[in-house]
Amino acid sequence: MQILFFLRPVIWLLAVLLVMGGLIWFIPKLRPALKIFTVINPAITSLDSFRGRANILLLGIAGGSHDGADLTDSIMLVSVNTTTSDTVLLSLPRDIWVESLMAKLNTAYHYGESRESGGGLVLAKAAVSEVINQPVHYAVLLDFSGFAKAIDAIGGVTVNIPRGFIDEKYPIPGKETAEPESGRYEILRFSSGRQTLDGATALKYVRSRYAQGEEGTDFNRAQRQQRVLLAFRDKVLSSAVLLHPGKIKALLRELKTTIKTDLPARTYPDLVKLALRINQAGLRTGVLDEGSRREDIPPLLYNPPSNLYGQWVLLPVNNNWQAVYDHVAEILYQNR
Domains of the chain, residue spans: 4-153+229-329
Distance CA 139, CA 123 (A): 10
Distance CA 112, CA 123 (A): 5
- φ/ψ (deg, to 5) at 284: -110, 145
Architecture of domain 4-153+229-329: 3-Layer(aba) Sandwich (3.40)
pLDDT tens-digit map of 249-272: 888 888 777 888 898 878 877 877
- φ/ψ (deg, to 5) at 185: -130, 155
Asked if pLDDT for residue 113 goes beyond 80, the answer is: yes
Across residues 149-165, what is the average pLDDT?
A: 93
Please spell the DSSP secondary structure of 249-291, one letter per residue. HHHHHHHHTTEEE---GGGHHHHHHHHHH--GGG-EEEE-SS-
- Quote the crossing angle between the two packed helices 218-236 and 199-207, to the nearest 10°: 150
3-state secondary structure of 172: coil
pLDDT tens-digit map of 184-211: 899 999 999 999 999 999 999 988 988 8
Q: How many percent of the chain have pLDDT more than 70?
A: 81
Helices (H), the chain: 8-26, 31-34, 36-40, 108-115, 119-132, 144-153, 199-207, 218-236, 239-242, 245-256, 268-277, 321-333
* Residue 5 to residues 70, 113, 265, Cα–Cα distance (Å): 17, 15, 11
Give the global pTM: 0.79
Find out whether 275 and 34 touch, Cβ atoms under 8 Å: no
Q: Report the pLDDT value the prediction gives residue 84, as an integer from 0 to 100.
A: 84
Give the residue, 181 or 283, on which the prediction is more confident.
Answer: 181
Q: How many percent of the chain have pLDDT more than 90?
A: 38
Give the residue, 189 or 274, on which the prediction is more confident.
Answer: 189
User: How many CA atoms are closer than 13 Å to the CA of 227, on its beta-carbon side?
Assistant: 22
| Average pLDDT of the chain, as a whole number | 81
Across residues 297-326, what is the average pLDDT?
A: 89
Asked if pLDDT for residue 170 goes beyond 70, the answer is: yes
Asked if pLDDT for residue 165 goes beyond 90, the answer is: yes
